[in-house]
Amino acid sequence: MSSEAEPIGNPESTAPAIETVAVRRLYGEMAAVDGLSFQVSEGEFFALLGPNGAGKTTLIQMLTTLIPPSAGTASVRGLDVAKDAAAVRTNLGVVFQEPALDERLTAEENLEIHAVLYGIARRSRKKAVESAIQWAALGDAGKRAVSGFSGGMKRRLELARALMHGPKVLFLDEPTIGLDPQGRRDLWDRIAELRRGHMTVFMTTHNLGEAEACDRVGIIDHGKLIAIGPPGDLIAEHGGSEGADLEDVFIKLTGHHLRDNVATARDRMVNFASRGGEHTK
């Protein structure tokens, strides 16, 4: 066992796992993310909360190098997301809200593609695929087309896939959404196991029970960070009455009004695909 001061596999970096300094992202006149500054340290388990349209997705898109910040900086393990995008990407494991799998291919074939995209050595690919199938407890299902998988199986597969290349920071966008209680519990146990392995996890969630289990929670609204800290502290500070929980804090800070979004292009695609629309599988 090495001491806490020397994280395994990361001797060179003293930088935080994630750091943003006054990061902004504009869409026309509108600031989707408006001057966010925060840090997530190595091995931390961090949950980002916020109502729909608060800027969570934009923030994740910037941190995963999909879009550059309009102003300010964001970095992952000391690597700037705009300047060192390729290096940042090798450090990340990403699981999206909706499955990003090729449904006509088998689980193993999906994993093989990932192995190549992340530059896993040719001689290690087979082992990497086998380990991931084992980790996801998919067994013989690994040789079946993903189109026949349940939501929980797909999510386990994606989580295992995101771990294949040995990422240092894991991004999980609503990891348990759409799962039944058993599936949610199972996935949560797997995430907890990663936590014990000192993986840095950055997740978004609407499930405040899950958020309460995290080391720290950040709440954003209208592109601004309105609270950050361990869940216990936030409840003590903003909860008010005895027996308050994180949901009370969340509602108090973000207000009661509903955030109904107009369906985005993606929503429409998802609906079309889920109805079995032609050429979507």
Partner 1 sequence: MSDHTSFDIETPGVQAWMGIAPAVIHVMWRREMLRYFRERSQFFGGISRTILWLVILGFGLGAALREIEGYTYAQYILPGVMTLNVLYASLQCSIALVWDREVGLLREVVVSPAPMLSVTLGKLLGGASIAVFQGSIPLLLLPVIGVKVSVFAIVAAVIVMFFMGIFMTSVGIVIASRLKTFEGFGAISNGVIQPLYFLSGSIFPLRGVIGGVGFLDIPAALREELRGLGIFALGGGWVVQLPGWIQFLVLANPISYQLDLLRFVLLDFQQLPMTTDLLVTFALPLFAAVVATIAMSRTLKKK
Q: Identify the residue among 3, 5, 9, 140 touching partner 1 (CB under 8 A).
A: 9
Q: Identify the residue among 21, 113, 177, 226 touching partner 1 (CB under 8 A).
A: 113
Q: Does 92 bind partner 1 (CB under 8 A)?
A: yes
Q: Does 56 bind partner 1 (CB under 8 A)?
A: no
Q: Does 156 bind partner 1 (CB under 8 A)?
A: no
In three state form, how does the secondary structure of 53-96 look? Answer: CCCHHHHHHHHCCCCCCCEEEEEECCEECCCCHHHHHHHEEEEC
DSSP string, 229-266: E-HHHHHHHH--STT--HHHHHHHHH-SS--PPPPPHH
- Shortest distance, position 55 Cβ to partner 1, whole Å: 17
Nearer to partner 1, 37 or 131 (CB): 131
What part of residues 72-91 is at the interface with partner 1 (CB under 8 A)?
86-87, 89-90
Nearer to partner 1, 5 or 265 (CB): 265
Q: Does 112 bind partner 1 (CB under 8 A)?
A: yes
- Shortest distance, position 32 Cβ to partner 1, whole Å: 14
- What's the CA gap between 164 and 56, in Å, rounded? 25
Q: Does 177 bind partner 1 (CB under 8 A)?
A: no
Cβ distance 45 to 195 under 8 Å? yes
The token pair at 155 is 């999510």
What part of residues 239-268 is at the interface with partner 1 (CB under 8 A)?
265-266, 268
Q: Identify the residue among 38, 45, 46, 118 touching partner 1 (CB under 8 A).
A: 118
Q: Does 161 bind partner 1 (CB under 8 A)?
A: yes
Nearer to partner 1, 10 or 37 (CB): 10
- Distances from the Cα of 43 to the Cαs of 169, 209, 247, in angstroms? 8, 21, 25
Which strands make up the sheet holding 30-40, listed edge to edge?
A: 30-40, 18-27, 71-76, 79-80
Q: Identify the residue among 15, 66, 82, 253 touching partner 1 (CB under 8 A).
A: 66
Nearer to partner 1, 15 or 226 (CB): 15
Give the binding range for partner 1 (CB under 8 A) out of 26-34, 111-119, 136-144, 214-222: 111-119
Cβ distance 17 to 52 under 8 Å? no
Give the binding range for partner 1 (CB under 8 A) out of 73-81, 120-128, 208-216, 224-232: 120-128
Binding positions for partner 1, rule: CB under 8 A: 8-9, 43, 64-67, 86-87, 89-90, 92, 94, 96, 98-105, 109-110, 112-114, 116-124, 127-128, 131-132, 135, 145, 161, 163-166, 168, 193-194, 196-200, 265-266, 268-270, 272-273, 277-280
